[in-house]
Structure formats: C-alpha cells, structure tokens
Amino acid sequence: MAASTTSDDLQLKQMIERLRELGQDCLRAQSTGEVRAALDRHFGAFPSAALVTSEAVDIAGVGAEWIQAPNADHYRTILYLHGGGYAGGSIASHRELAARLSKAAAARCLVLDYRLAPENPFPAAVDDATAAYQWLLLDQKYQPTRIAIAGDSAGGGLTIATLVNLRDKQLPLPGAAACISPWVDLAVSGASALTNAERDALVSRDILQMFVKMYLGDRDPRIPLASPLYADLRGLPPLLIQVGSSEVLLDDAKQIGERAQAAGVSVELEVWPNMQHVWHWFAPTLDKGQQAIEQIGGFIRQRTQAPA
C-alpha cells in the first residue's frame, strides 16, 4: 500500500508541475496564437495510446478527424469537443485522449476542430458542434441512440450547450453525454473559483476571464448557449460528469449536475479526490487518468448499445 501511495503521489506531483507550467505559458502569451501553441506543445507530445487509425474529414468547411481503436464498434460513435477556453485546443492537443477514449468506449471518435474565438466568437462553436452532429445523423447514417457527445473543460460546457441546441431544434438526441471538468458558467460565479484558487495548478479566474472576453466580448456571460448552467436542461440524455476536487471549476460541475438532475435528467457526478483540471490528459503517466477514461468508456458503452 505504501509503495502504491508513493507512486500515486509522484504521478500527481508530476502532473501539477506540468499544469503550472502550462498555466504560466498561457498567462505570459502575447497573442492567441501563443496560447494555442502552448496547449498543443504540452498535450500534443504524448505517444498514441494504441494502434489507432485516423482519417481527416471536412464537415461543411470545418475540420475533424476520425480516431478509431482496433476494438471500435463501427456503429457506435463519440462526437468529441475539445477544451481550450473556446480560443485554443485542437485535434493535435486531444488526439491522445481521444484514442484512449475510443478504446475504452469501443467506439469511433470524431474529434471536431470547431472554429475558435476571438476570430470566431459565440455562437460559432455551438453552430459547428450542432452541424457535426447532424452530419453524423444525415451523412454518416448513425442512429442517435448509438452516438455520445463528450468534451472537456470548455468542450464540456459546449457538450451541454449542443444538447440544449439540438433539443430546441427538435432534433433526435444522442444516447448519452460525458463532461470532463466542464466549464458551464462563463460568469465565473462558483465559490470554488476562490476556494480552490491555490489548489488548481492550471485554471484561475484570470485565465477564465481572458477566455470569456475572447469568446463573448461584451455580451452577457449568462447567455444559456454560452453558459448552459443557466439553460433549461429538461429532456437531455443521460449525463456523466467528472471533476477533480482541486479544481476551480468544481462548483461548475456540481451545479450543472444538480440542475440537470432537478430537471429530470439521469446524472452521474463523480468528484475525484485531489485530481486536477482534465487529469485525463495525463493518462500515459497518471493511473487515475486512465481509470477515469475507463469509467467514461463503460458509461458510453452501456448507454449506446444496439437495440435488442
């Protein structure tokens, strides 16, 4: 037990050091391009988790990439919406995570390079995610019950915003959704933004407010499709939410889970002790990261099974 604890502590320490370095790089950045480069540099360097295949595709002018583990069920798919504050992140920064998720869920994974702010502010990301889901239905002929939407950080908020948008457009909803460390309140009103300020190695109010300015400009940060914490959540599919107890966004995850459950949504909320923002990124070197991905995979497999 002592050896295991020592190993866990070392893995956690290494993750925190890397996240602090990334956070400092983002705050020092002189341009949006430098922020994006920092994200790709820090998270695009992990080797592939499995012998996955990949294929670039174009969805109405928006880039995407199919990532498929050898065990993937061709009739099950995940639309993956990457994080990065709506102004950064890419297929490159999330390819490793998507590869591991494809294997864990036994699903093809479509990682969407949705348009980024500030060049393409709200609602560009929501529009692109909605269009990609419709492409899966109409062009790729997937059954909605065999699709899951998943995302991390801003992509977790975008996941819920996309579900709300699909429901409001009266489109068939996916079988499930999973949110990793979701950012759902662009007003940054949660108490954990202050209480976890010293514990969170990456996310801070300053970083969040920088991204809000890029994505929304001077618009109301409580617009429901930008901040789905303020949306009507009735009728959404089963939802898995994972968050670390050390995160600035801890209250975002807890509150969206509570509101969704109050609206009648089936919700599984997991608070992982001592984990940092999107610890799944570190699955190659962090056991808890891989364990969390396996949890998501099991959730998606169970809720996107073929009808009997």
The residues assigned a catalytic role are: 153, 247, 277
Residue 105's nearest CA partner among 304, 307, 284 is: 304
Residue 34, Cβ neighbours under 10 Å: how many? 13
Q: In this structure, what DSSP letter does residue 247 have? A: -
The C-alpha atoms of residue 105 and residue 148 are separated, in whole angstroms, by: 10
Residue 279's nearest CA partner among 9, 3, 48, 11 is: 11
152: β partners = 180
The C-alpha atoms of residue 242 and residue 83 are separated, in whole angstroms, by: 14
Q: What is the separation of C-alpha 262 from the centre of its chain, rounded to a whole number of angstroms?
A: 23
Residue 172, Cβ neighbours under 10 Å: how many? 13
245 exposure class (CB count in 10 Å sphere: 0-12, 13-18, 19+): middle
The C-alpha atoms of residue 254 and residue 257 are separated, in whole angstroms, by: 5
Alpha helix positions (H), the chain: 2-28, 32-43, 91-105, 124-138, 154-168, 192-195, 205-216, 250-262, 287-303
The C-alpha atoms of residue 20 and residue 38 are separated, in whole angstroms, by: 12
